[in-house]
Structure 1
């Protein structure tokens, strides 16, 4: 189970034209908006990645409006674990549970999740908040992650696990976000 004090969210490369051309892009962006808003409300830190923004463009505005307190970590490696700035930030937050989402499932999400798992982090991929240009590549990426012991989850499941109970102000706000 995810614990709020142990969890960090890693948002991977939801940028420019690519973000608009992946499989079910509108649905992906909507799910990521819910996830980011929920993580903010629950005060779970977000590590925000951008793959070569000079070439791919910036993160889509639907998401950046929820990331005002964050600064993107630029990378050129497919795995964020090969980026010193990312690894330094990950060390700084001192959390061992990783929730990961973004694009593309079979490239940067997969490679980052696989290396985090190899570094002994507990990694969960948010299956309804990842995508690739093709559905088959998304499915292959998810299958490979699961074969490594990376657990699948969903936006709602993550947020409810982190909340732990109903009847709180946070619960009421999360329900508004999810609906």
Structure 2
């Protein structure tokens, strides 16, 4: 299954300020999600974020909101964002059927959201280096479970280049200059 920017939506689940300090790999997850969020906005791929109980867990990490484009933020009470009627209705109305999914905690809200999306007929790509839990083993278990359910594991670079499709497009030059050239060579942890 190939990701297409005109069919895709980037969904960042619950990367919230007060939750991140206890998350294994939380800083890397935010950095990768923010980077892909910038690419998404440059390519006009919708960027959606969810927040679980923001009164207690705080809002989304501010680094996720630094991009120049628009984003939509959904507050939720269900662990599965797709179980929220307004979210499900807006997603259906968006015309997007591919969801690139990441966030925290992988084995709770991200997993349940992914399962809900798959059950509703969406294609789900699990952004491995930006999907984390308090314990890395739980993130890995969730990834394997979601893959068995029909999702596929991807990296941020895979997604960016699939959305770009070609190098002779004006958008490639812009994205390459603003995002791709600036990628660090630091090793990534894939969960």
Per the TM superposition, whether the score is higher than 0.5 is: yes
- Between the aligned partners of 1:136 and 1:23, the Cα distance in structure 2 is 10
Say if 2:49 is the partner of 1:48: yes
What's 2:11 paired with?
10
Change (3 A) 1:67 1:144: farther
State the Cα deviation string for residues 107-154 of structure 1 (Å, max 9, x = none): 111000011111111111110111111111111110110111111101
- Output the CA distance in 2 between the equivalents of 1:133 and 1:173: 36
Helix, strand or coil at the partner of 2:88: helix
Q: Which runs of 5+ in 1 are unaligned?
A: none
Residue 179 (structure 2) aligns with: 177
Tell me the residue number matched to 1:39: 40
Q: How many residues align?
A: 179
Residue 167 (1) aligns with residue 142 (2): no
CA-based RMSD: 1.4
TM-score (norm 1): 0.94
Residue 107 (structure 1) aligns with: 108
Q: Kindly tell me: are residues 67 and 50 of structure 1, through their superposed partners in 2, closer, same or farther at Cα, counting changes over 3 Å?
A: farther
Farther off after superposition, 60-69 or 13-22: 60-69
> Are the counterparts in 2 of residues 12 and 102 from structure 1 also a CA contact under 8 Å?
yes
Tell me the TM-score normalised to structure 2 length: 0.88
Q: 1:71 to 1:122 in 2, by over 3 A?
A: closer
Deviation at 1:50, TM superposition (A): 0.7
- 1:65-144 aligned at under 5 Å gives the runs 65-66=66-67, 69-144=70-145
Residue 19 (structure 1) shift: 1.8
Q: Which has the higher helix share?
A: 1
Distance (whole Å) between structure 2 residues aligned to residue 45 and residue 76 of structure 1 = 22
Give the Cα–Cα distance (whole angstroms) in 2 for the partners of residues 73 and 172 of structure 1. 32
d(CA) in 1 for partners of 2:164 and 2:71? 22
The alignment partner of 2:18 has SS state of helix
